[in-house]
Structure 1
Amino acid sequence: MMSVTQRHAEELVLGARELGIELGALQQEQLLAYLGLLIKWNKAYNLTAVRDPDEMVSRHLLDSLSVVPYVELGGERWLDVGSGGGMPGIPLAIMFPERQFTLLDSNGKKTRFLTQVKLELKLANLEVVHSRVEAYRPPQPFDGISSRAFSSLEDFSNWTRHLGDAGTRWLAMKGVHPDDELQALPADFRLETTQVLRVPGCQGQRHLLILRRSV
């Protein structure tokens, strides 16, 4: 079985540095351990369409780390919606151990994997929730809500409206700039900013759209 190699470790450290991130020893160790679990479980659980471990560093780890500067801007409590294999939620939980991250997915196999990652990596700041997003009712609004290739901006906004308030930032990670989806944004949501993400080793376009609710 192919597992995490020294080459993967070097690609991670150098790619993170290119993003302006210096990984600590524990962060590097946890990110690579997560990659190892993803490779192992993906064979049986189909967690990601990316099958080649050599592509996972750039397309999963570095792609997730590319939004670190925008999570850094503030917010103690984060929700990763439709987290699937845990991107970007698990890398962000590793990078920000002082903040709380909730990973939500309706697929039981995927939440079992996420729970295993939480246990093996000892991520005390991580909560895994197996639920449909519409049915999820947390005790208070989240400061930030992220999604990566989860749904259209319209559905993302409508399905998560009840999980945030006027102080929440919605971070939608996209490929090509979704002009059509922006036209369909609900009336109570507005685009605060669009950021072009330059992910080392990733050929396709990557964009981050930060949304706010007006009420």
Structure 2
Amino acid sequence: MWKDLGVGEGGLDKLHAFVALVEKWTVRINLVARSTLPDIWERHIEDSARLCLTAPESPAIWADFGAGGGFPGIVVAVVLQARGAKTRVILVESDLRKATFLRESARLLDLPVEVRSERAESLPPLGADVVSARALTALDGLCALAQRHMAPGGVAIFPKGENYEAEIDAARKNWRFDLETVTDPRHKGAILCLRKIDLARS
């Protein structure tokens, strides 16, 4: 997978360094469930990096909401930097402790990341080419967030669990969108890629 993503040894070194930071900080604040730490590469790093396979090669702005422990935002920033992309990665996280972790990770890993410790609803529109969120809220709510912050022609990329089809059905009651569903036989969930998000006609 890393070869497909264009991530070489330098990028993998940064990801290993990031894993060490997550493990260190999780002792103090709840970045990820401690039970998932033994599987952090498969459960968090690889799952986050996989979003880049569905995204544009070199977006100008990538905004990740509910960035929390840096999944997928920090991982995405490492992958894009390793590719040579000049992407500005904006991480939105209202929890001040997690926002501090994100800033420290970006500083130590020398990543082009901007952290906004605000709620997504209060931010002015970001005009992002890519909007992402992992385990933040249901797809219906994510559509509202994406519509506000996504640039025309942009894409929203949301990894979802095994109930993703029910979330799609619920979201379509309020929203219209073009949908691409990317599944992986190793997982029960899917990556949902939405374009042209708009309110459904009443």
For the superposition of Structure 1 and Structure 2, which TM-score range results when normalised by the shorter chain?
Answer: 0.7 to 0.9
* Corresponding position: 1:134 with 2:134: no
Report deviation, 1:136.
1.0
Report deviation, 1:188.
4.4
With over 3 angstroms needed to count, the CA separation of the structure-2 counterparts of 1:52 and 1:173, relative to structure 1, is: closer
Letter in 1 for 2:114: E
Partner of 2:55: 71
Task: Specify the SS of the correspondent of 1:183.
Answer: helix
TM-score (norm. length: structure 1) = 0.82
Report deviation, 1:192.
2.1
Aligned counterpart in structure 1 of residue 160 of structure 2, from 174, 186, 204: 174
Partner of 2:96: 108
Report deviation, 1:206.
3.0
Letter in 2 for 1:154: D
| Cα root mean square deviation, aligned | 2.0
The runs of 4+ residues in structure 1 deviating greater than 4 Å are none
* Corresponding position: 1:161 with 2:147: yes
Unaligned runs of at least 5 residues, structure 2: none
Are the counterparts in 2 of residues 166 and 214 from structure 1 also a CA contact under 8 Å? Answer: no
Report deviation, 1:65.
1.3
Partner of 1:24: 8
* Corresponding position: 1:88 with 2:77: no
TM-score (norm. length: structure 2) = 0.87
Letter in 1 for 2:33: A
Are the counterparts in 1 of residues 5 and 79 from structure 2 also a CA contact under 8 Å? Answer: no
Report deviation, 1:213.
2.6
Report deviation, 1:177.
4.6
Partner of 1:152: 138
Partner of 2:179: 192
Are the counterparts in 2 of residues 48 and 85 from structure 1 also a CA contact under 8 Å? Answer: yes
Unaligned runs of at least 5 residues, structure 1: 1-14
Report deviation, 1:153.
0.4
Identical amino acids, percent of aligned pairs: 25
More strand per residue? 2
Aligned residues: 193
Report deviation, 1:185.
1.9
Task: Specify the SS of the correspondent of 2:171.
Answer: coil
Cα distance in 2 for partners of 1:143, 1:165 equals 5
Cα distance in 2 for partners of 1:209, 1:177 equals 12
Letter in 2 for 1:67: L
Deviation digits for residues 35-92 of structure 1 (CA, Å, limit 9, x no counterpart): 0000000011111114453211111111111122112445221100111101111111
Report deviation, 1:93.
0.5
With over 3 angstroms needed to count, the CA separation of the structure-2 counterparts of 1:121 and 1:71, relative to structure 1, is: same
Are the counterparts in 2 of residues 16 and 23 from structure 1 also a CA contact under 8 Å? Answer: yes
Partner of 2:110: 122
